[in-house]
Amino acid sequence: MSYFENFMKANQAYVDLHGTAHLPIKPKTKVAIVTCMDSRLHVAQALGLALGDAHILRNAGGRVTEDMIRSLVISQQQLGTREIVVLHHTDCGAQTFKNEDFTAYLNKELGVNVSNQDFLPFTDVEESVREDMALLRQSPLIPADVEISGAVYDVDTGRMTVVEE
């Protein structure tokens, strides 16, 4: 039995709350947020965002990858965003392993050789935010005048702390 049935039930109630809206496709704040998939981080609530306000791009760790850049280019060049926030968090799953151990584990468990793949783990969460802000700055696909901010979200308190570039 999958959990999916519960989602379908919950959605029935949500539809009543939602009502019918015709929000524009372009985010109102013109901001794209690059963040982690962590289940303890409710980005919209933590940042005071409503429907239609911002793009929220998530992956494991909230890392700036090739696919994250792909989404940002569409966000900016097709959908009008002009600002990026890199938001990592405390107690991240990307801090729980090293590439060598993880790739060895995957080789054993799944029989797949991924020894040359970087799963982008990190140890220092402020450093990972700075690294990813730097990657965005260096990317020729991100215009130089795009505002880039960074922060760390504390999963225990909900507080965000600014990380300077």
Binding-site sequence positions: 36, 38, 89, 92
| Residue 147: DSSP 8-state | E
- Which of 36, 43, 47, 125 is the binder for Zn ion (CB under 5 A)? 36
**Would you count residue 38 as binding Zn ion (CB under 5 A)?**
yes
Q: How far is the CB of 121 from Zn ion (least distance, A)?
A: 10
How many Å apart are CA 133 and CA 123, to the nearest integer?
16
Nearer to Zn ion by Cβ, of 68 and 92: the residue is 92
The answer to the question of residue 33 lying near Zn ion (CB under 5 A) is no
Q: Which two tokens stand for residue 53?
A: 């306000």
Distances (CA, A) of 119 to 60, 61, 143, 151: 9, 9, 27, 21
Residue 123 half-sphere exposure toward CB, CA atoms < 13 A: 2
* One of 32, 92, 129, 136 touching Zn ion (CB under 5 A): 92
Nearest approach, Cβ of residue 80 and Zn ion (Å): 28
Binding site for Zn ion (CB under 5 A): 36, 38, 92
